[in-house]
Amino acid sequence: MSESVSTDYTVKGMTCGHCAGSVTGEISGIDGVTAVAVDLPTGRVTVTSTTPIALDDLRAAVTEAGYELVG
């Protein structure tokens, strides 16, 4: 059985549940992603996946949702 990888990121610009839903939807579309948890007050997004996710793929998904990946 493979282990999951969880990584925290910061996304700038999210202010409401719709924002969180947009980011969650786009990131969930990346191959290997099994869960996405958004903490609106801090902008922290925890991505759980079966393998490490390429930062470029994550950045593209966040940008597609209309927000900015910090760092």
For the chain, list the domains and their CATH numbers: 5-70 (3.30.70.100)
The pLDDT score that the predictor gives to residue 68 is: 97
Strand order across the 44-49 sheet: 33-39, 44-49, 5-12, 68-70
Find the length of the chain. Answer: 71
For 12-30, what is the mean pLDDT? 97
Task: Report yes or no on whether pTM surpasses 0.85.
Answer: yes
Cβ(9)–Cβ(71) under 8 Å?
A: yes
The pLDDT score that the predictor gives to residue 19 is: 96
